[in-house]
Amino acid sequence: MRLTSDQALELSKGFRGLAIVVGDYRYREWEHISRSQRQAIENWEWSLLNAAGDIITLAVGKVIDETKVALAKLNGSTADARSAVKKLTAVKGVINVATAAVALAGAIISGNTVAIVATLGGLVDATVDATKEKDA
């Protein structure tokens, strides 16, 4: 997995954006979710934010330089996830999407192409499932 620094910065924005909408969800549903659920979601917010920070660090180091996996797909995935979380009301769906996004961030940072493809699929599935739950 080789990304340019500019592309890495775009990805970082995607993860930060996801952290923000997950946080917005937690505040929106503050009165309707349990304390432990709030804590779990907050932990994912921090994980997503730190993933964004890790990717910024990678961008500066330029240890990732050229993309092999279509970047549009990666950026599209985090954009879809953001959009799904904005619409969600189910806690489980939010946590699943955040979990899948953090796994993808980890794979990107490790540079393992197989893991990136697998976790990318995971994020897409989690987003689709969460959206279905919402629509059901």
Partner 1 sequence: MRGRFVRRVLDLALVAVVSMGATSCANLAAIRDFATISSETASYTQLVSDYVASPTVQKRYQPPSNAGRLDEQAATRALQAPQLLFLHKSVAEYMDAMGKLAADEAPIYDKELDSLGSSAKNAKLADEKTVTAATTLGKCVFRAVADGWRRRQLANLVADADSSLQTVVAGLQVVTRAFFDDLDNERQALHIYYEDLCRLSSQAGGDAAAAGVAALKEWRDSRLEAIKARERAINAYGGVLEHIAKGHAKLYAERGRLSDKQLLSEMGQATKQMRELFGAVRELGGR
In the complex, the residues that contact partner 1 under the rule CB under 8 A are 5-6, 9, 12-13, 16, 19-20, 23, 27, 30, 42-43, 45-46, 49-50, 52-54, 56-57, 59-63, 65
3-class secondary-structure state, position 111: coil
DSSP code string of 21-71: HHHHHHHHTTTTS-HHHHHHHHHHHHHHHHHHHHHHHHHHHT-----SS-H
Cβ closest to partner 1, residue 64 vs residue 131? 64
For residue 47, the one-letter residue type is S
* 133, two tokens: 């739950």
CB of 101 to partner 1, least distance (A): 15
Are the C-beta atoms of 24 and 86 separated by less than 8 Å? yes
CB of 47 to partner 1, least distance (A): 8
Cβ closest to partner 1, residue 2 vs residue 132? 2
CB of 11 to partner 1, least distance (A): 11
CB of 62 to partner 1, least distance (A): 4
Cβ closest to partner 1, residue 19 vs residue 100? 19
The one-character DSSP state at 3 is -
Cβ closest to partner 1, residue 27 vs residue 114? 27
Spacing of C-alpha 91 from chain mean position = 16
